[in-house]
């Protein structure tokens, strides 16, 4: 029986207007890294951010990966606060469906590759944090445990006391699907910005997700 739903956050529950990763890196991240004496080009950053290379790979070029990501996350926090103040981070209009899922007595988790602080910042901005029993961000003790690794999904299952067959993972990307399946959980792809192959279910909106969940309970 379905007892819980694990949600991705960025581009699943909220979205960012005008975000360009390379511009963000060059204007926000690179200057801060240079202030800390760290030289990192966008190409290597991008490969580690997208997990084409492990996030710990930067050790090979003499950079402490935990220090690096804590600096990047601090920059991201300032960036998100500015974007929120300018109204450029927005919640999808169907996120009220989270309330309907809670009424079904389901356990809900939010799991993000962003830091916990940055994840909470965005969820609290739209009062979405109240729907979740647990909220997880990247684990600095296991930087390579971000999605598509199943690590964070497994951690959520453990914290919620759920078996893999008692949960669904809901996200917008192939990383969410791969992470879900790696943890033995079925994946729902929300068609926000295109279809990600390999999901067990597809929904256009979170309203459709509610109906899917009702059919699985």
Residue range of the domain that includes 164: 4-16+89-216
Residue 61: CA count within 13 A, CB half-sphere: 13
Residue with tokens 């890294």: 33
Are 47 and 109 within one domain? no
Last residue of one domain, picked from the residues 29, 50, 85:
85
Q: Are residues 115 and 205 in the same domain?
A: yes
pLDDT of residue 137: 98
Output the pLDDT for position 84: 98
**Whole-number pLDDT of residue 39:** 95
Q: What integer best gives the mean pLDDT of the chain?
A: 97
93 and 200 part of one domain = yes
pLDDT of residue 185: 98
What's the pLDDT at 151? Answer: 98
Give me the helices (H) in the chain, please: 21-24, 30-35, 42-49, 65-85, 97-103, 116-125, 151-160, 174-182, 206-216
Alpha-carbon distance 108 to 10, whole Å?
16
| Residues 129 and 74 both lie in one domain | no
Tell me the C-alpha distance between 92 and 118, whole Å.
18
CA atoms within 13 A on the CB side of 121: 19
Mean pLDDT by 10 residues, the chain (217 residues): 97 96 97 96 94 93 96 98 98 97 97 98 98 97 95 98 98 97 98 95 98 95
Q: How far apart are CA 204 and CA 214, in angstroms?
A: 16
């Amino acid at each position: 029986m379905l007892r819980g739903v694990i949600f991705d956050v960025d581009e699943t529950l909220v979205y960012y207007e005008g975000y360009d990763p390379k511009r963000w890196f060059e204007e926000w991240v690179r200057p801060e890294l240079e202030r800390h004496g760290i030289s990192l080009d966008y190409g290597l950053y991008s490969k580690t951010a997208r997990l084409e290379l492990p996030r710990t790979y930067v050790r090979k070029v003499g950079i402490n990966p935990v220090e690096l990501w804590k600096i990047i996350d601090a920059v991201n926090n300032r960036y998100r606060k500015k974007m929120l103040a300018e109204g450029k981070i927005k919640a999808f209009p169907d996120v009220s469906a989270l309330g309907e899922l809670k009424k079904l007595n389901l356990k809900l988790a939010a799991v993000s590759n962003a830091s916990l602080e940055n994840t909470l910042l965005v969820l609290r901005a739209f009062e979405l944090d109240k729907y979740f029993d647990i909220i997880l961000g990247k684990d600095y003790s296991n930087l390579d445990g971000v999605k598509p690794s199943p690590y964070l999904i497994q951690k959520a299952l453990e914290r919620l006391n759920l078996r893999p067959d008692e949960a669904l993972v809901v996200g917008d990307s192939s990383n969410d699907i791969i992470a879900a399946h790696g943890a033995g959980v079925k994946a729902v792809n929300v068609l926000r910005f295109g279809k990600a192959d390999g999901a067990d279910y597809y929904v256009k909106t979170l309203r459709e997700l509610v109906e899917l969940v009702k059919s699985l309970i």
